Structure 1
Amino acid sequence: MKTIINTSKAPAPIGPYNQAVLVGNTLYTSGQIALNPETMELVLDSIEIETKQVMENMKAVLEAANMTFENVIKSSIFIADMNDFAKINTVYGAYFDEATAPARETVQVACLPKNVNVEISMIAIK
Protein backbone atom coordinates (compact mmCIF):
# COMPACT_ATOMS: atom_id res chain seq x y z
CA MET A 1 0.00 0.00 0.00
CA LYS A 2 1.24 3.49 -0.79
CA THR A 3 0.93 6.66 1.24
CA ILE A 4 0.95 10.00 -0.55
CA ILE A 5 3.23 12.61 1.00
CA ASN A 6 2.51 16.30 0.38
CA THR A 7 3.44 19.40 2.35
CA SER A 8 2.75 23.11 1.93
CA LYS A 9 6.41 23.69 2.91
CA ALA A 10 7.49 22.51 -0.56
CA PRO A 11 6.13 23.63 -3.93
CA ALA A 12 2.77 22.21 -4.92
CA PRO A 13 2.98 19.79 -7.84
CA ILE A 14 2.62 21.42 -11.26
CA GLY A 15 1.23 18.30 -12.90
CA PRO A 16 -0.46 14.97 -12.18
CA TYR A 17 1.97 13.78 -9.49
CA ASN A 18 2.64 14.08 -5.75
CA GLN A 19 5.68 15.38 -3.93
CA ALA A 20 6.48 11.88 -2.68
CA VAL A 21 5.08 8.40 -2.24
CA LEU A 22 5.86 6.19 0.75
CA VAL A 23 5.71 2.44 0.12
CA GLY A 24 6.49 0.45 3.25
CA ASN A 25 9.65 2.05 4.64
CA THR A 26 10.78 3.48 1.29
CA LEU A 27 10.11 7.05 0.19
CA TYR A 28 10.24 7.96 -3.48
CA THR A 29 10.35 11.70 -4.06
CA SER A 30 9.42 13.57 -7.18
CA GLY A 31 12.04 15.86 -8.60
CA GLN A 32 12.27 19.25 -6.94
CA ILE A 33 13.15 22.45 -8.74
CA ALA A 34 13.83 25.91 -7.28
CA LEU A 35 10.25 27.03 -6.79
CA ASN A 36 9.63 29.08 -3.66
CA PRO A 37 6.76 27.17 -1.98
CA GLU A 38 5.12 30.37 -0.70
CA THR A 39 5.06 32.28 -3.98
CA MET A 40 5.55 29.48 -6.54
CA GLU A 41 8.10 31.79 -8.19
CA LEU A 42 11.43 30.44 -9.40
CA VAL A 43 14.54 31.28 -7.39
CA LEU A 44 17.26 31.62 -10.03
CA ASP A 45 19.57 34.34 -8.65
CA SER A 46 22.63 32.06 -9.01
CA ILE A 47 23.22 28.33 -9.41
CA GLU A 48 24.15 28.13 -5.71
CA ILE A 49 20.95 29.88 -4.58
CA GLU A 50 18.91 27.79 -7.02
CA THR A 51 20.44 24.56 -5.70
CA LYS A 52 19.88 25.64 -2.08
CA GLN A 53 16.18 26.22 -2.82
CA VAL A 54 15.95 22.76 -4.41
CA MET A 55 17.56 21.18 -1.34
CA GLU A 56 15.34 23.13 1.06
CA ASN A 57 12.29 21.94 -0.89
CA MET A 58 13.57 18.37 -0.66
CA LYS A 59 14.23 18.80 3.07
CA ALA A 60 10.57 19.82 3.54
CA VAL A 61 9.35 16.75 1.66
CA LEU A 62 11.61 14.46 3.70
CA GLU A 63 10.40 16.08 6.93
CA ALA A 64 6.77 15.57 5.86
CA ALA A 65 7.59 11.84 5.79
CA ASN A 66 9.36 12.08 9.19
CA MET A 67 12.77 11.65 7.55
CA THR A 68 15.98 13.64 7.10
CA PHE A 69 18.83 13.61 4.60
CA GLU A 70 20.35 10.82 6.72
CA ASN A 71 17.55 8.56 5.44
CA VAL A 72 18.42 9.20 1.78
CA ILE A 73 19.97 6.21 0.01
CA LYS A 74 19.91 7.46 -3.61
CA SER A 75 19.87 10.86 -5.30
CA SER A 76 19.45 11.76 -8.94
CA ILE A 77 20.66 15.17 -10.05
CA PHE A 78 19.69 16.53 -13.44
CA ILE A 79 21.53 19.63 -14.59
CA ALA A 80 21.28 21.80 -17.68
CA ASP A 81 25.02 22.54 -17.84
CA MET A 82 27.74 20.21 -16.57
CA ASN A 83 29.93 23.29 -16.08
CA ASP A 84 27.73 24.03 -13.01
CA PHE A 85 28.53 20.65 -11.46
CA ALA A 86 31.15 21.87 -8.93
CA LYS A 87 28.92 24.65 -7.60
CA ILE A 88 25.87 22.38 -7.39
CA ASN A 89 27.96 19.67 -5.72
CA THR A 90 29.23 22.08 -3.05
CA VAL A 91 25.71 23.15 -2.06
CA TYR A 92 24.34 19.59 -2.29
CA GLY A 93 27.23 18.23 -0.22
CA ALA A 94 26.50 20.63 2.66
CA TYR A 95 23.29 18.67 3.34
CA PHE A 96 25.02 15.30 3.82
CA ASP A 97 27.66 13.71 6.00
CA GLU A 98 30.23 12.60 3.44
CA ALA A 99 30.83 9.31 5.29
CA THR A 100 27.16 8.30 4.98
CA ALA A 101 26.18 10.17 1.80
CA PRO A 102 23.81 8.35 -0.56
CA ALA A 103 24.54 6.80 -3.91
CA ARG A 104 24.03 9.30 -6.70
CA GLU A 105 24.10 10.02 -10.39
CA THR A 106 24.42 13.42 -12.01
CA VAL A 107 23.27 13.78 -15.58
CA GLN A 108 23.30 16.71 -17.96
CA VAL A 109 20.00 16.98 -19.78
CA ALA A 110 18.76 19.02 -22.75
CA CYS A 111 15.99 20.83 -20.86
CA LEU A 112 14.33 20.82 -17.43
CA PRO A 113 10.85 21.93 -16.35
CA LYS A 114 10.40 25.71 -16.51
CA ASN A 115 13.91 25.90 -18.01
CA VAL A 116 15.59 25.62 -14.59
CA ASN A 117 19.23 24.65 -14.21
CA VAL A 118 18.92 21.82 -11.68
CA GLU A 119 16.36 19.23 -10.54
CA ILE A 120 16.94 16.67 -7.80
CA SER A 121 14.97 13.57 -6.77
CA MET A 122 15.72 11.12 -3.96
CA ILE A 123 14.89 7.73 -2.52
CA ALA A 124 14.98 7.39 1.27
CA ILE A 125 14.31 4.61 3.78
CA LYS A 126 13.30 4.60 7.44
Structure 2
Amino acid sequence: MPTYHNDPTLAVPVFPGSHIVLDDRHVFLSGLTVTDIQGGEAVLGDIAEETRWIMRRLAHMLEYVDATLADTLRVEVHLTNLDTIHTMDAAYAEFFDAQRYPARTCTESPRLSGGSNVEITLVARRRPEKESSGTES
Protein backbone atom coordinates (compact mmCIF):
# COMPACT_ATOMS: atom_id res chain seq x y z
CA MET A 1 0.00 0.00 0.00
CA PRO A 2 1.54 3.35 -1.02
CA THR A 3 2.25 6.01 1.58
CA TYR A 4 2.41 9.73 0.89
CA HIS A 5 4.85 12.16 2.48
CA ASN A 6 6.00 15.75 2.28
CA ASP A 7 9.56 16.82 3.00
CA PRO A 8 9.26 18.89 6.20
CA THR A 9 12.08 21.18 5.01
CA LEU A 10 10.19 22.20 1.86
CA ALA A 11 7.06 24.30 1.56
CA VAL A 12 3.86 22.27 1.38
CA PRO A 13 3.17 21.66 -2.32
CA VAL A 14 0.89 24.22 -3.95
CA PHE A 15 -0.13 21.56 -6.45
CA PRO A 16 -2.37 18.60 -5.59
CA GLY A 17 0.42 16.11 -4.92
CA SER A 18 3.04 14.87 -2.48
CA HIS A 19 6.79 15.37 -2.47
CA ILE A 20 7.42 11.67 -1.82
CA VAL A 21 5.38 8.53 -2.48
CA LEU A 22 6.59 5.16 -1.24
CA ASP A 23 5.43 1.73 -2.25
CA ASP A 24 6.93 -1.62 -1.27
CA ARG A 25 9.77 -1.34 -3.77
CA HIS A 26 10.17 2.27 -4.90
CA VAL A 27 10.57 5.88 -3.87
CA PHE A 28 8.89 8.35 -6.22
CA LEU A 29 9.96 12.00 -5.88
CA SER A 30 7.98 14.83 -7.45
CA GLY A 31 9.71 17.20 -9.82
CA LEU A 32 11.84 19.80 -8.08
CA THR A 33 13.19 23.19 -9.18
CA VAL A 34 15.46 25.63 -7.35
CA THR A 35 12.51 27.93 -6.73
CA ASP A 36 11.00 25.14 -4.60
CA ILE A 37 14.06 25.41 -2.32
CA GLN A 38 14.42 28.38 0.03
CA GLY A 39 17.19 30.64 -1.27
CA GLY A 40 17.26 28.90 -4.65
CA GLU A 41 16.36 32.08 -6.47
CA ALA A 42 19.97 33.17 -5.88
CA VAL A 43 21.23 30.69 -8.49
CA LEU A 44 18.51 31.15 -11.12
CA GLY A 45 20.06 31.31 -14.57
CA ASP A 46 23.18 29.32 -13.68
CA ILE A 47 22.26 25.90 -15.11
CA ALA A 48 25.09 24.06 -13.32
CA GLU A 49 24.22 25.58 -9.92
CA GLU A 50 20.49 25.04 -10.40
CA THR A 51 21.25 21.38 -11.15
CA ARG A 52 23.53 21.01 -8.11
CA TRP A 53 20.99 22.62 -5.75
CA ILE A 54 18.24 20.32 -7.03
CA MET A 55 20.39 17.19 -6.86
CA ARG A 56 21.48 18.00 -3.29
CA ARG A 57 17.85 18.45 -2.24
CA LEU A 58 16.77 15.25 -3.99
CA ALA A 59 19.58 13.43 -2.15
CA HIS A 60 18.28 14.91 1.12
CA MET A 61 14.73 13.78 0.30
CA LEU A 62 15.98 10.26 -0.38
CA GLU A 63 17.88 10.22 2.92
CA TYR A 64 14.62 11.20 4.65
CA VAL A 65 13.22 7.80 3.55
CA ASP A 66 16.47 5.86 4.07
CA ALA A 67 17.64 5.79 0.44
CA THR A 68 20.46 7.45 -1.48
CA LEU A 69 21.13 8.69 -4.99
CA ALA A 70 22.94 5.38 -5.56
CA ASP A 71 19.49 3.73 -5.35
CA THR A 72 18.16 5.86 -8.23
CA LEU A 73 16.73 3.90 -11.15
CA ARG A 74 15.21 6.58 -13.38
CA VAL A 75 15.51 10.36 -13.72
CA GLU A 76 13.52 12.87 -15.73
CA VAL A 77 15.13 16.22 -16.48
CA HIS A 78 13.31 19.18 -17.99
CA LEU A 79 15.33 22.11 -19.33
CA THR A 80 13.96 25.40 -20.61
CA ASN A 81 16.69 25.34 -23.26
CA LEU A 82 18.11 22.07 -24.54
CA ASP A 83 21.22 23.93 -25.69
CA THR A 84 22.28 23.94 -22.00
CA ILE A 85 22.24 20.13 -21.73
CA HIS A 86 26.04 19.76 -21.66
CA THR A 87 26.36 22.21 -18.76
CA MET A 88 23.55 20.44 -16.90
CA ASP A 89 25.07 17.02 -17.68
CA ALA A 90 28.44 18.00 -16.21
CA ALA A 91 26.85 19.07 -12.91
CA TYR A 92 24.41 16.12 -12.87
CA ALA A 93 27.21 13.58 -13.42
CA GLU A 94 28.91 14.73 -10.18
CA PHE A 95 26.18 12.95 -8.20
CA PHE A 96 26.46 9.44 -9.66
CA ASP A 97 29.04 6.71 -10.12
CA ALA A 98 30.03 6.84 -13.80
CA GLN A 99 29.47 3.08 -14.08
CA ARG A 100 25.93 3.27 -12.64
CA TYR A 101 24.05 6.16 -14.19
CA PRO A 102 20.27 5.75 -13.89
CA ALA A 103 18.03 5.57 -16.94
CA ARG A 104 17.14 9.12 -17.96
CA THR A 105 14.94 11.25 -20.14
CA CYS A 106 15.75 14.89 -20.85
CA THR A 107 13.25 17.17 -22.57
CA GLU A 108 12.92 20.83 -23.38
CA SER A 109 10.08 22.46 -21.48
CA PRO A 110 9.99 26.14 -22.37
CA ARG A 111 8.32 27.22 -19.14
CA LEU A 112 9.05 25.79 -15.68
CA SER A 113 7.60 26.75 -12.32
CA GLY A 114 9.01 29.90 -10.74
CA GLY A 115 11.16 30.81 -13.73
CA SER A 116 13.56 27.92 -13.10
CA ASN A 117 15.60 26.52 -15.95
CA VAL A 118 15.92 22.94 -14.67
CA GLU A 119 13.39 20.55 -13.11
CA ILE A 120 14.38 17.05 -12.01
CA THR A 121 12.32 14.15 -10.72
CA LEU A 122 13.39 10.62 -9.94
CA VAL A 123 12.43 7.09 -8.99
CA ALA A 124 14.67 5.07 -6.67
CA ARG A 125 14.48 1.56 -5.31
CA ARG A 126 13.74 1.06 -1.67
CA ARG A 127 16.17 -0.99 0.31
CA PRO A 128 14.84 -4.21 1.79
CA GLU A 129 13.81 -3.84 5.44
CA LYS A 130 16.84 -5.79 6.69
CA GLU A 131 19.18 -3.25 5.01
CA SER A 132 17.20 -0.20 6.05
CA SER A 133 17.11 1.54 9.38
CA GLY A 134 13.40 2.31 8.98
CA THR A 135 13.40 6.12 8.93
CA GLU A 136 9.90 6.40 7.50
CA SER A 137 7.34 8.78 8.90
The size of the alignment, in residue pairs, is: 125
- Aligned Cα root-mean-square deviation (Å): 1.7
User: In structure 2, what residue type is equivalent to 1:97?
Assistant: D
1:85-111, Cα deviation, whole Å (9 max, x unpaired): 011111111000011110001101121
Aligned CA distance change for structure 1 residues 58 and 34 (closer, same or farther; 3 Å): same
1:49-79, Cα deviation, whole Å (9 max, x unpaired): 1111111121111111110011100000000
Range with greater deviation from structure 2 (3-12 or 105-114):
3-12
Q: Which residue of 2 aligns with 1:114?
A: 114
Q: Which residue of 2 aligns with 1:28?
A: 28
Range with greater deviation from structure 2 (102-111 or 27-36):
27-36
Q: Give the match's secondary structure for 1:18.
A: coil
Select the structure of larger CA radius of gyration: 2
Q: Partners in 1 of 2:83 and 2:51 — Cα distance?
A: 14
Q: Partners in 2 of 1:98 and 1:34 — Cα distance?
A: 25
Aligned CA distance change for structure 1 residues 51 and 67 (closer, same or farther; 3 Å): same
Aligned CA distance change for structure 1 residues 32 and 77 (closer, same or farther; 3 Å): same
Shift of 1:11: 4.8
Q: Partners in 2 of 1:118 and 1:65 — Cα distance?
A: 24
Shift of 1:45: 5.3
Matched, 1:78 2:78: yes
Q: Partners in 1 of 2:105 and 2:40 — Cα distance?
A: 27
Q: Partners in 1 of 2:51 and 2:111 — Cα distance?
A: 16
Aligned CA distance change for structure 1 residues 83 and 11 (closer, same or farther; 3 Å): farther
Q: Please, what TM-score do these two structures have when normalized by structure 1?
A: 0.89
Q: Please, what TM-score do these two structures have when normalized by structure 2?
A: 0.83
Q: Give the match's secondary structure for 2:21.
A: strand
Structure 1 stretches of at least 4 aligned residues deviating more than 6 Å after TM superposition: none
Q: Give the match's secondary structure for 1:77.
A: strand
Q: Percent identity?
A: 24
